[in-house]
């Protein structure tokens, strides 16, 4: 089966897979407009913390490409407008701001260049962010696969595979690699209400790869643990606070509590770009709230009484004490606390790499 490529730079445009159409249809869209990229991120046509960062970087390039013939005095204004547009799409995933910061640093270093040359430098940086994420996914999968017992049955939540990243994925990359090495027996996929990323996206990805998987409702996981049918839980992260608290798709915290109660290891897989050292604990992470219609309707059909009150956080926060390990491209952080994570700040890191376009 052909490996899915959720985003690509082609002939001066961005081609992306519209994930809102999956699994019914595989629809690719092409744009040269950064506002379409911003809207795609908002509506989850492009989603997954690492992929959002990649898309935003390409969005900056699109914006600057469109103004190649404006006066020098307005270049900075156009950059700031594009940066603001993309930065205000989704508040929780820190990869978005990390990627935009990298693009800003390249812009500031080369803002006096001729515009064509500046655009080339920005594109080179965006492509480097994309490629680096693919490499990080490979290293995460290599480190994480070793944590799983032979013949493991794993539970995962939301989508963390090729649809969410620039490579094979984070948590799903670990799962995929374990399957390739013959170390995986089965995957249980939590459906991931309200937008069903598990049912629509993860089940679709694993089916394409031939990985044995079983779809369950979000609240079946604890029962499977009680029955002794789960060996490990592996999830991704949209932001990791400095103390190791993890913001991830809503429903993650419940699974972590259940896993802790049943003595099942709960692993988080994420690139180091997901670690926000400026946010000291999880309670300070901004949590995106989605439209209530995402809860009160399914596929356009209303399932709740008219005017029902609903609360729709996109994410929740899992305390570091419930997490057995955080897997990054640098290795396994265990225990995942402030002291352990702090050591990553001095490690060679893609977080500090700027000026690739020089």
Tell me the per-residue pLDDT of 5-15, one tens digit each, with 9 for 90 and over: 999 999 999 99
pLDDT of residue 345: 79
pTM for the predicted model, two decimal places: 0.94
pLDDT of residue 340: 93
Q: Mean pLDDT, to the nearest integer, of 267-294?
A: 96
pLDDT above 70 covers a percentage of the chain that reads 95
Given 133, 218, 238, 316, the catalytic residue: 238
Q: pLDDT tens digits, residue range 152-170? A: 999 999 999 999 999 999 9
pLDDT of residue 300: 87
Q: Mean pLDDT, to the nearest integer, of 276-295?
A: 96
Least confident of 29-38, 47-56, 110-119, 284-293: 110-119
Query: What confidence tier does 71 reach under pLDDT thresholds 50, 70, 90?
Result: low
Q: Taking 90 as the threshold, does the pLDDT of residue 348 lie above it?
A: no
Query: What confidence tier does 66 reach under pLDDT thresholds 50, 70, 90?
Result: confident
pLDDT of residue 70: 65
| Catalytic-residue membership of 238 | yes
Q: Taking 50 as the threshold, does the pLDDT of residue 352 lie above it?
A: no
Beta carbons within 10 angstroms of residue 13's beta carbon:
16
Q: Mean pLDDT, to the nearest integer, of 187-206?
A: 97
pLDDT of residue 119: 95
């Amino acid at each position: 089966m052909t490996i899915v490529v959720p985003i690509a730079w082609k002939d001066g445009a961005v081609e992306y897979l519209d994930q809102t159409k999956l699994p019914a249809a595989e629809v690719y869209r092409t744009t040269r407009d950064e506002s379409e990229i911003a809207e795609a991120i908002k509506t989850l046509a492009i989603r997954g913390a690492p992929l959002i960062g990649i898309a935003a970087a390409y969005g900056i390039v699109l914006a600057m490409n469109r103004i190649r013939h404006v006066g020098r005095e307005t270049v900075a204004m156009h950059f700031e407008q594009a940066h603001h547009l993309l930065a205000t799409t989704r508040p929780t995933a820190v990869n978005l701001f990390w990627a935009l910061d990298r693009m800003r640093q390249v812009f500031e270093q080369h803002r006096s260049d001729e515009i064509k040359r500046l655009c080339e430098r920005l594109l080179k940086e965006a492509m480097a962010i994309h490629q680096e994420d693919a490499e990080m996914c490979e290293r995460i999968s290599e480190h994480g696969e070793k944590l799983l017992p032979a013949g493991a049955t794993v539970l995962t939540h939301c989508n963390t595979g090729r649809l969410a990243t620039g490579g094979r994925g984070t948590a799903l990359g670990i799962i995929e690699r374990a399957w390739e090495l013959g170390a995986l027996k089965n995957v249980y996929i939590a459906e991931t209400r309200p937008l069903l990323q598990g049912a629509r996206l993860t089940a679709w990805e694993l089916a394409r790869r031939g990985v044995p998987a079983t779809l369950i409702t979000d609240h079946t996981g604890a029962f499977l643990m009680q029955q002794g049918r789960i060996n490990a839980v592996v999830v991704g992260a949209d932001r990791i606070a400095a103390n190791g608290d993890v913001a991830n798709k809503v429903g993650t915290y419940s699974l972590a509590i259940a896993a802790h109660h049943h003595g099942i290891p709960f692993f988080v897989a994420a690139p180091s770009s997901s670690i926000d050292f400026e946010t000291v604990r999880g309670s300070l992470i901004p949590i995106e709230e989605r439209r209530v219609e995402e809860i009160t309707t399914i596929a356009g059909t209303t399932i709740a009484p008219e005017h029902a009150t609903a609360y729709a956080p996109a994410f929740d926060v899992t305390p570091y004490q419930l997490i057995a390990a955080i897997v990054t491209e640098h290795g396994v952080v265990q225990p995942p606390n402030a002291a352990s994570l702090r050591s990553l700040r001095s490690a060679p890191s893609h977080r500090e790499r700027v000026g690739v376009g020089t």
